[in-house]
Amino acid sequence: MSDAVSDKPREPSPPSRMSAVGGERLGLPGVQIEPRAGAGAPELPDSITSRAWIVADAETGDVLAAKNAHWPLAPASTIKMLFADTLLPKFDKDRVHRVSREELLRVGPGSSMVGLKEGLTYTVDDLWKGVFLRSGNDAVHALAELNGGVDKTVREMNEHAGRLGATDTRVVSPDGYDAEGHVSSAYDLTLFARSGMQKPDFREYAATVRARFPGDVEKGKDGKRKRGTFEIQNTNRLLTGAPGLEPYEGIAGVKNGYTTNAGSTFTGVAQRGDRVLLVTAMHPEGGGLSVYKETAALLDWGFEAAGKTEPVGELVPPEGAGNGLGKNTDDRPGNQAGGAGEQPAGPTTPTASRTHGASDGAGTALMIVASLLVALGAGAYGVHRRWPLPGMAGTPRPGRGPQGPAVLGSPENPGALERIVTRPPAPGRPEGAASASPGAGKASESGDGGGDGKAAGSGGTAPPEPPASPAKDAGTP
């Protein structure tokens, strides 16, 4: 009797030797952990299936544990952290941009969209909300156009990755859309998140639960044409919650992703007591909420294991880390963190979870105001390469209970359909980008990785379809 032949595709294996940036052990395949003798370190969760993951202290840069940290894998929309970290300092939030048809045609088939409309204007602030909350590839391409085009943006992203020490990363598409050779690693994505969280605007957008977004221009009952708005909600399920998943205690961002090639990817930052951890997980087995559940399990382990393990590596500092961080940081000119009598700029007092008024509609996650994560890097690398987080200690610890934002799908937050646009391949995609047909290579964000092109509910009216394009509705998970 012959053995049965499985039709299941063979799982890829990590390289036998990878980059040693951050420490030799981080370049080895498999799980890397070093329990401290006699300290009672907890066992790693046996539920972790991600091909690559990392748990790191956001302040000290110590890597508590990792698996295949430097394995170059498709990152999906988590690469938008690098996009934002590269471009956020460049443009004033109030700058206005008129969207062209050409920009929308550069968006890949099946992409997640926030709902930009040809010929209408949006502020840079609107566009960044579209990137961070809805993972809108249309918003990415609008910002790339502002920056001088996709090719220039991709080049600058790769240059910035190099400055951060992210040697595993090669950007081909600025929005994370599947493309040949487009890769990053759990280690590099964690560097991007850590760098981005230095920037007040990055922190604020990453922690925003929901916001109002400009809609179409329609004629009102009085006969006058008016611009409407609709509500968008963050696709980060550890921030918003979902059926079967409550918001994570102390979560403050950062970014999720999903494509058919990358599977689910996620980088999150959370604070408990006076400790802040970063976790990245890439390509877990199964879909749905797996990447969030595995991230939550790794965060729980990291908070329990802190002080009970020896570091297996470190997050390297970016080039010139002690020389001032430039625009959109918490540094005032000439002010270095740790100086006598100096206080970090910006608010440092805790504020309860809230939804802002109708003027902006922004919601802040789980009692952690984004601006509390002050100056992750303000020139303090000289002392153990530590990135101090003044203002975090003593922040109220929100529970996984009713004080969190309403769970998506609950009566308080029923969600809505998002329009997912399918287009024929168009000129303007980065060189080497996949000419994916509908159903393949999609860079859509469901927030749960639960299927190609299925988008999470926005928590309000569905965004309108971009012009002159066939669309299909994607059901809420």
Q: How far apart are CA 329 and CA 208, in angstroms?
A: 18
Do residues 77 and 263 lie in contact, with contact meaning Cβ atoms separated by under 8 Å?
no
Report the length, in residues, of the chain. 477
Do residues 433 and 173 lie in contact, with contact meaning Cβ atoms separated by under 8 Å?
yes
- Identify the H or E element spanning 248: none
Q: How far apart are CA 347 and CA 324, in angstroms?
A: 20
Of 19, 77, 264, 371, the active-site residue reads: 77
In Å, how far are 16, 44, 70, 73, 155 from 309, measured between CA atoms? 25, 12, 21, 27, 39
Of 135, 173, 264, 446, the active-site residue reads: 135
Q: Give, in degrees to the nearest 5, the angle at Cα 23 between 323 and 324.
A: 10
Q: Is 355 exposed, middle or buried (0-12, 13-18, 19+ CB in 10 A)?
A: middle
Q: Is 46 exposed, middle or buried (0-12, 13-18, 19+ CB in 10 A)?
A: exposed
Of 67, 80, 129, 255, the active-site residue reads: 80
Do residues 349 and 20 lie in contact, with contact meaning Cβ atoms separated by under 8 Å?
no
Q: How far apart are CA 375 and CA 199, in angstroms?
A: 7
Residue 219 annotated to the active site: no
- Identify the H or E element spanning 152: helix 150-163
List, in sequence order, the alpha helices (H) in 100-149. Answer: 101-105, 124-132, 137-146
Residue 135 annotated to the active site: yes
Measured N-to-C along each axis, helices 80-87 and 200-207 cross at an angle, to the nearest 10 degrees, of 140
Pairing label, strands 62-67, 313-314: antiparallel
Radius of gyration of the chain (CA): 21
Q: How far apart are CA 55 and CA 301, in angstroms?
A: 9
- Identify the H or E element spanning 192: helix 186-196
Q: How far apart are CA 19 and CA 167, in angstroms?
A: 8
Residue 80 annotated to the active site: yes
Pairing label, strands 31-33, 418-421: unpaired
Q: How many CB atoms lie within 10 A of CB 409?
A: 17
- Which residue shows structure tokens 């910035």? 160
Catalytic positions:
77, 80, 135
